[in-house]
């Protein structure tokens, strides 16, 4: 197990809700998780889950996609509307549609059956770690222009260098639209090169810095053939 500075006890949720119509699997998984001190609520359908109001307060959700009655994807959407807790899909479906629809509905990870219980456990740990011990609202990134700090939705901060601040401020000017490499290089006084390598290297280092300090994917995307753009970032003059 990789040690990233957490102890398993700190990152594994106290309660897990399992929604799956496979009675044998749910029964064995429940015993496995309960043996590790976790409280488990199991339901065989979305309807059964919805009839138990306390289920929504679970610290984590393990959902099967193929359920009798309401579909697992709809259930994920409903849970996500009320909870910020981690959601992992454990399903026998393998198509890209199943994956993308589950993630679009709000799931954090997709695991294919058959799955070992230790893999489920590890996946729950990974997602919980990614979301943070106390999952917070999945909001936007904020860039503080005065301090040059970028704050992640989880509240983690990344301190940018002078050049990186200029680059990020230029990206923010376009409000999520693509900014050309030339514009970025001019804004940050980066010596232009034929293949834009200097700028790409600066952007690469900035991404790495943000990811290392916040432990979250940097809110910057590469627009192939155009340049770069920010994703869900607000500026804060504060």
Partner 1 sequence: MAGLLIDVTTVQWAYLGLLIAFTICLGLMTQLTASSGLRWWLASNLTTAIAFPLFILRSEIPFGNVVFLLPTTLVIVSAALKLLAVIPAAQRRRRAWHMAMLVALFMAVYKLLDQAGWLAARLSFSLGTLSLLTLLIAHGASRNTRWRGIQGRGVLIISFTVSGVILAGLSARALGGNESFAYFSQGMAQSIAFGLNLLQLLLVHIGFIAVVIGRLTRVTVLKGARERELIRRRRLAEERGREMEAIAQERHALLELLTHEVRQPLNNAQAALQEISRTIDGQRLAALGMSQPVARLYDIIDQVVLALSNAIVAASLIERKSRQNARSVDLAEVAELAKGDCPLTAHGRITLLGADCPMFIQGDPVLLRLAFRNLLDNAIKFSAPETPITVKISVDEDRLGMIFEVRNIPTRPFTPDRALFERALRGDVSIEGSGLGLFIVREVSLIHEGTVDSRVASDGQTVFEMFFPA
By DSSP bridging, strand 227-230 and strand 141-144 are unpaired
Using CB under 8 A as the binding rule, whether residue 22 contacts partner 1 is answered as yes
What is the dihedral sign for C-alpha 30, 116, 22, 53?
positive
Please give the Cα distance from 159 to 210 (Å, whole number): 8
Using CB under 8 A as the binding rule, whether residue 35 contacts partner 1 is answered as yes
For 50, counting Cβ atoms within 10 Å of its Cβ (0-12 exposed, 13-18 middle, 19+ buried), the class is middle
Residue ranges in 97-116 that form contacts with partner 1 under rule CB under 8 A: 99-100, 103, 109-110, 112-116
Bridge partner residues of 87 (DSSP)? 61
Question: Site size for partner 1, by CB under 8 A?
Answer: 47
213 and 158 Cβ atoms separated by less than 8 Å: yes
Among the listed residues 118, 177, 232, 236, the single contact to partner 1 using CB under 8 A:
118
Among the listed residues 4, 47, 57, 236, the single contact to partner 1 using CB under 8 A:
4
Among 31-39, 69-77, 136-144, 178-186, the segment contacting partner 1 (CB under 8 A): 31-39
HSE-up of 195 (CA within 13 Å, CB side)? Answer: 2
Give the x/- contact pattern for partner 1 in 138-177, rule: CB under 8 A. Answer: ----------------------------------------
Say how many C-beta atoms besides its own lie within 10 A of residue 154's C-beta.
Answer: 19
HSE-up of 227 (CA within 13 Å, CB side)? Answer: 19
Closer residue to partner 1 in complex, CB, 14/94? 94
By DSSP bridging, strand 109-112 and strand 15-19 are unpaired
Using CB under 8 A as the binding rule, whether residue 216 contacts partner 1 is answered as yes
Using CB under 8 A as the binding rule, whether residue 225 contacts partner 1 is answered as no
Among the listed residues 139, 208, 223, 226, the single contact to partner 1 using CB under 8 A:
208
Residues in contact with partner 1 by the rule CB under 8 A: 1-4, 22, 24-25, 28-29, 31-32, 35, 92-96, 99-100, 103, 109-110, 112-119, 122-123, 126, 130, 200-201, 204, 207-208, 211-212, 215-218, 221-222
């Amino acid at each position: 197990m990789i040690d990233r500075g957490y102890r398993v006890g700190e990152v594994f949720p106290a309660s897990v809700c399992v929604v799956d119509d496979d009675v044998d699997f749910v029964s064995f998984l429940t015993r496995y998780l309960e043996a590790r001190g976790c409280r488990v609520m199991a339901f065989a359908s979305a309807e059964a889950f919805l009839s138990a109001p306390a289920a929504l307060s679970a610290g984590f959700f393990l959902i099967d996609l193929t359920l009798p009655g309401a579909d697992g994807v709809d259930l994920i959407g409903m849970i996500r509307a009320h909870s910020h807790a981690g959601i992992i899909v454990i399903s026998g479906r393998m198509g890209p549609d199943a994956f993308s629809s589950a993630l679009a509905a709000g799931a954090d990870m997709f695991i294919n059956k058959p799955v070992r219980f230790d893999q489920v456990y590890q996946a729950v740990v990974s997602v919980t770690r990614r979301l943070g011990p106390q999952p917070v609202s999945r909001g936007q990134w904020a860039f503080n222009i005065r301090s040059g700090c970028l704050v992640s939705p989880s509240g983690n901060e990344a301190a940018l260098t002078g050049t990186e601040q200029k680059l990020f401020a230029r990206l923010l000017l376009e409000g999520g639209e693509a900014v050309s490499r030339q514009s970025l290089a001019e804004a940050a006084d980066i010596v232009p090169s034929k293949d834009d390598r200097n700028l790409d290297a600066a952007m690469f280092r900035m991404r790495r810095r943000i990811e290392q300090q916040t432990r979250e994917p940097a809110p910057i995307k590469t627009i192939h053939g155009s340049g770069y753009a920010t994703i869900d970032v607000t500026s804060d003059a504060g």
